[in-house]
Amino acid sequence: MLLSLGCQTMREGVIATVIFFIAGVLVILAGANVVPAIWHLNHVVVFTGFILLLLAPIILVSTFLLSVLPKAKDRMDKCEH
């Protein structure tokens, strides 16, 4: 089920957010400092980093919104924290 939220998917959402955020920052830094400006390749790499950086809060917000659904409270109460 697509909108199924449990303990495992909540953890996966937070881990994916952290990975996307760190990858976005690293790709932006690499595009700004390491990648040469041949064929505007550095701009493409920085743009890719910004897309990754933008996806991080989108994943986190969507995970939060799924957790406030009415039936999600019952499933989240069964989690071991």
pLDDT in tens, 42-74: 999 999 999 999 999 999 998 888 878 777 777
- Tell me what pLDDT residue 63 has: 86
Q: Name the DSSP letter for residue 68.
A: T
> 46 is written with which tokens?
């920085």
Residue 78 maps to a domain: no
51's CB contacts (< 8 A; 6+ apart) are: 24
Residue 80 maps to a domain: no
With 70 as the cut, is the pLDDT of residue 2 above it?
no
**What's the CA angle centered on 29, arms 25 and 34, to 5 degrees?**
150
Residue 45 maps to a domain: yes
Q: What is the pLDDT of residues 6-49, one digit of tens each?
A: 677 788 889 999 999 999 999 999 999 998 888 899 999 999 99
Q: What's the number of domains the chain is made of?
A: 1
What's the rounded Cα separation, in Å, for the pair 14 and 80?
16
Domain range for 32? 7-70
What's the rounded Cα separation, in Å, for the pair 7 and 78?
8
pTM above 0.85, yes or no: no
Residue 2 maps to a domain: no
